[in-house]
Amino acid sequence: MQQAAIEARDLSVTKGHTRALDIVSFRIEKGKVTGVIGPSGSGKTTLMRTVIGVQMPTNGSLKILGLHVGDPALRSKIGYQPQSPAVYGDLTTRQNVEYFAKIFGLGKAEVDAVLKQVDLTPQTNQLTSSLSGGQLARVSLAVALLGNAELLVLDEPTVGLDPVLRERLWALFNDLARQGRTLVISSHVMDEAERCQDILLLRDGKVLNSGAKIDLLQKSSTQSVEAAFLKLAGGSA
């Protein structure tokens, strides 16, 4: 069996007095777009933060690209877009991306490429403090795309975007997967899940299902991820 991009075994993460992830086990395969889907408070962001090594597991094991989570060798292999844009408001769009590009030893060509990928070329010289919420999210996405990381962890990357731009970004995500990169994308919007090849369903810190979307639909005898979620969660499909 091919090495997984992410493999969790009996993973638990406690935040304060709350178990945000409760003894979860799953595999995320390489070279695919996997949707981490669930309502607010289901543990999606905690899982993302644990994968990138910011939040450490309380119990269990988590391997990323064959290495234990937190291994310094993973730093250059993972690109991360947080749910809240991490940008410097007193810098322009380009200056923000250039700052992180220098850390990776990248130049102008790479900066231009990622700005074009996320459709921010018109805002390149605009202070990020004056950007819209959707534009700010795309600055963070541009930073995540720098360096050709093997694993892209994107926390709700298309929230607040218009339908045309959302379509373009999903086309980009699928193109990156075809190039062999692994994308893990969280969302609480069920129609976004329909665009993913694999699905990890979360509710109240537990995994309801993980694996190929087609297998989920067959297993639940449903026609959509939303209906499958409702059925597995004990609701009515």
pLDDT per residue, tens digit, the chain (237 aa), is 678 999 999 999 998 888 999 999 999 999 999 999 999 899 999 999 999 999 999 999 999 999 999 999 999 899 999 988 889 999 999 999 999 999 889 999 999 999 999 999 999 999 999 999 889 989 999 999 998 899 999 999 987 788 898 899 999 999 999 999 999 999 988 888 999 999 999 999 999 999 999 999 999 999 999 999 999 988 544
CATH code (residue 93): 3.40.50.300
Q: How far apart are CA 112 and CA 92, in angstroms?
A: 14
Residue 196 domain boundaries: 31-52+75-232
Residue 194, domain member (yes or no): yes
Closest CA to 173 of 198, 194, 201, 154: 154
Residue 63, domain member (yes or no): no
Task: Give the pLDDT confidence score for residue 235 in this predicted structure.
Answer: 58
Phi and psi dihedrals of 167, rounded to 5?
A: -60, -40
Q: How many independent structural domains does the chain possess?
A: 1
Task: Give the pLDDT confidence score for residue 158 in this predicted structure.
Answer: 87
Task: Give the pLDDT confidence score for residue 117 in this predicted structure.
Answer: 92
Task: Give the pLDDT confidence score for residue 237 in this predicted structure.
Answer: 41
Residue 156, domain member (yes or no): yes
Task: Give the pLDDT confidence score for residue 9 in this predicted structure.
Answer: 97
Residue 108, domain member (yes or no): yes
Q: Is 218 exposed, middle or buried (0-12, 13-18, 19+ CB in 10 A)?
A: exposed
Residue 60, domain member (yes or no): no
Phi and psi dihedrals of 115, rounded to 5?
A: -65, -40
Residue bearing tokens 């449903």 = 222
Strand runs (DSSP E) across the chain, as ranges?
6-15, 18-28, 33-37, 59-64, 67-68, 78-81, 151-155, 182-187, 198-203, 206-212
Residue 13, domain member (yes or no): no
Task: Give the pLDDT confidence score for residue 1 in this predicted structure.
Answer: 67
Q: How far apart are CA 81 and CA 172, in angstroms?
A: 15
Residue 121, domain member (yes or no): yes
Tokens of 112: 């231009």
Phi and psi dihedrals of 6, rounded to 5?
A: -140, 130
pTM value surpassing 0.85: yes
Residue 16, domain member (yes or no): no
